[in-house]
Amino acid sequence: MKNIVVVGSQWGDEGKGKIVDWLSEQADIIIRFQGGHNAGHTLVIDGVTYKLRLLPSGIVRKNKISIIGNGVVVDPWALIEEIEELKSKGISINNDNFIISETANLILPFHKEMDEIREDAAGKAKIGTTRRGIGPAYEDKVGRRSIRVMDLRSEQNLDKRLETVLVHHNAIRKGLGKNVFEKEKLKKELLKIAPEILKFSQPVWLKLDEYMKQKKKILFEGAQGILLDVDHGTYPFVTSSNTVASSAATGSGCGPNSINYVLGITKAYTTRVGEGPFPTELKDKVGELLGTRGKEFGTVTSRKRRCGWFDGVLVKQSIKISGIDGIALTKLDVLDECDEIKMCIAYDLDGKRIDYLPATVEDQQKVKPIYETFPGWKTSTNGMKNINSLPSNAKKYIFEIENFIGAKISSISTSPEREDTILIENPFDI
């Protein structure tokens, strides 16, 4: 048995979808353990593109079981819409291949509205959320007033739970001059959709224990990236959940000893969507080149991503925080046209050289990257499947990254197609 956690080692958008899809072919169980439908994975299989937002990547493969864990916040209407969208492309989703944790928390319409109200009111101080209600839903979860999947089973219980959560939200809405939410209307809408959600509901912790006893291979699929972790990211410009590998255990209902290998997906350069510090950001023609060649637009929101050089300091920090065993390096081919390539190896903070990202936003915005420069290779690596076929300058860059971050590079992606991957070691075989 080998259980693997896949996490993004940067600010998300590292190309996890392709890598998770490749690993899911070898796994028996694929489980999402945090986040919501703000995190998008794009898969290209046999020429067909699948854009997943909430469902685990394994759902597009036959004979796999896909699970949404308790750590995920679920918009029930968005989930049903995504299921119907995949069914229209010939994907079968039923009780045999899909499970939702009965303790997963729901995203409701007033969460989305509160997300929008706050972002609009924040002006230049906005976080840059996807406005899908993720943050407010997590707030209700830790505030112990949330509606969970299991609450949909009983109209009487749902009525009580809605009463509790709306006392909180309607008080805020009144204070902001917004209309209050009508409980009866929302309850009616939830009861209508309840059967479609409850038919997939099970105690996931119990199912995982069963699968582990059967020696099933489990793939824990993370969303976003470690630098967006609510505790360890560039706070407050972060998501509202823990994106580090250890949250795979908490967000699914198993012990940390269930995890055998942590794979960090890492882009050969750096991108960030939304607001927040970005030490290596390029606001010049090189940044535009990376964005254009890398097609750096969000899967879910289509927002343009900010682009910059590879930040080795941040990736090394992510590796230590998340216990990453190996790196899957993605989008190497995007760098093919660069005359020279830079890697951040330290920061300058008020004249002092430091080798980590400081905790305060003020310092994060002040740090200046210290670079090591490498010659570009100026030839196509697109589609290459053997490391010996790579240009010598590309290999030098890869080996320098590996040496600096202190983690083995297990694979290198050279195009969006899943077959275009240089495999150095397979986490499931270690």
Active-site positions read 13, 41
Which single residue is written with the structure tokens 């690993």?
Answer: 23
CA distance 378 to 135: 43
Closest to 330 measured CA to CA, from 3, 8, 4: 8
Angle at Cα 301 formed by Cα 295 and Cα 302, nearest 5°? 30
Q: How many helices (H) and strands (E) does the chain have?
A: 12, 20
E strand intervals along 135-208? 201-202
Nearby residues of 285 by Cβ (< 8 Å), 6 or more positions away: none
* Residues pairing with 372 in the sheet: 343
* Residues pairing with 74 in the sheet: 106
E strand intervals along 273-424? 306-308, 310-311, 326-330, 340-349, 352-354, 368-375, 408-413, 421-423
Q: Is residue 343 within 8 Å of 318, Cβ to Cβ?
A: no
Question: How far lies 4's CA from each of 81, 178, 243, 429, in Å?
Answer: 29, 46, 15, 11
Could you give the 3-state DSSP secondary structure of residue 121? helix
Residue type at 206 in one-letter notation: L
Residue type at 298 in one-letter notation: G
CA distance 280 to 133: 30
